Structure 1
Amino acid sequence: MDEDAFLKAYDPTAFERPALTVDLVLLGLSDGHPAVLLIERAEHPHAGRWALPGSFVRPDETLDGAAARVLRDKAGFDAIEAERTRLEQLYTFGAVDRDPRMRIVTVAYLALLPEAVFAQVEEENAALSAARIAVSWAGEAGGPVAAFAVRDRAGHEALPLAFDHADILALAILRLRGKLDYSDVGFALLPESFTLRQLQDVHEAILGTSLNKPAFRRRMLDRGWLVPTGAREAGTSFRPAELYRFRKPL
C-alpha cells in the first residue's frame, strides 16, 4: 500500500482528539504594577469568574491566526493595531482536568502593551477590565499570583479566575523576569520615546523590587541599546529628563 492509498483509507476518528484553544495574556503596567486585561465570563463553566481573552481554534486556521482573531474580535484591536502587536507563544497548558467540559489543551500567547495602549484598549472595549497582578514570590523562584481589580488599590478581594488562568499569569510573570535583564522585552512596555526613570520603573514593576538608580542607568547605557533623541520630556514642573529610544542590538 502506498501513501496515497493509506491516507484514503485512514480513519481520522480512530483516536479521540482533545479540543484546542488559545488564550491571550495582554499585559501592561498600571500605577507601577503589572496588569492584565480580563473578561468576566457570562456563561458556564465558571460563570462570573474572570478569564483571559481566548477562543477555540477553528479547523481552518493556524494557532497564530486564532490568536490574531482573538486580538481583533475580543480585545477590539483593529487590523493595523493587531498587525503591530507582537504575540509570542508563552506555553502550552494541557492538564487533563484544566477544563470541566472536556479535554481542552490551550496555547497561551503573551503580548506586551505600552501603558497608554493598555489603558486605551480597556477604555474602548467595555468587555475588558484591567486587573493588577499581585506576585508573592521574589526573583525567579516562581509561585502563585492573584489578580485584583485596578480600582481595588488596597487589594481587599482577589478576583476569582477561571480555569488555570492564574497559572498562565504566573508563568507570564516568571518568563518576563527571566528575560528582562538580557533581552529587549522590557522596551515593549514603554512608549517609543522614554526617560531612564520610565525604563527603571518598568524593570522594578516586573521584578517587584527597587533597583539602585546609578547602577541601573550605567548598566543600561553601557549596553548601547539606548539612543538619545535630543528631546526632553514635556509637562514637568521640574527639570525635564532626557528622552531616549531603543536601538535593537545587531
Structure 2
Amino acid sequence: MHRNATRTAVRTLACAAVPMLLVAGCSSGSDGDDSARPSPSASASSASPTPAPVKFTTLPDPCKTLSGDTVGDVVPEAKKKGKNLGSKDADGYGTCLWSGLDDYQYRALTVSLKRFDSDVTLGSGSERAAEYAGQQVAAISQDEENKKVKDTPLDGVGDQATSIAFETEKKDGEKTEEYREQRIVAITGNVVVTVDYEGAGFETGKTPKAEDIRKGAEKAAKEAVKAVK
C-alpha cells in the first residue's frame, strides 16, 4: 500500500508540473518579445537629424536693394531700375546691374545676393554662407589679370564684410582702358551680398580715384545688406 501511494503522489506532482511549465514558457516568451522592441530613447536617437533653422528664407529683388538716389549718385546716367540678370531660383540667387556713361566717365555696379539653406551634411546656412564669402574674396587675388589687390575688413556692414580694391585693364577695340574696381563681400545671416563697382575714364576722361570707387561701393553695400530682411 505504501508503495502504491508513493507512486500515486509522484504521478500527481508530475501532472501538476506540466501546466506550470507551460505557463512559465509563455511568460518567458512574452518577456523575449518585449526586450526585442526598441526603447523610446533608442527610437529617438535613431531619428534623422534636423537641419538648423536659418535667418532668411527668401531674398529681395536685387534691383530693389538700392534707392534711386543711391544709384544716381554712384552710377551717373544709369537707368535707376537696373537690369535684372535673372535667376531660375529667385529665392536662392539674384543679380542686378546698373551702368552709365557720363561725359566719358564710365561706371558699372552689380549687386548679387546668394542665400544658403542648412544641410545636415554640408553645414548650417550661416556656415555655408561664410564658406562662399571666402571664395568670393579669394577669386579676386586668384585672377592674374587683377593688379594691386588689397583687401581689408569692413566694419558695420552685415555680420562680417571684406572690402577688396584692385585695378585691371580691359581692351576696347585697339585701345586699352584702365579700370579701378572694388568688391565688397558681406555676410548677413545665411545670405552673402557681393557688390562689384568699377570705373574708367574713356577718351579724354581720367581714371577715377581709388578712394571714390571705394566710397561708392561701400555706400551701395550698406544699403543692399539692409534690404535683406
TM band (smaller chain): under 0.3
More helix by share: 2
Q: State TM-score, norm by structure 2.
A: 0.23
Instruction: Name the larger-Rg structure.
Output: 2
Q: TM-score, normalising length from structure 1? A: 0.22
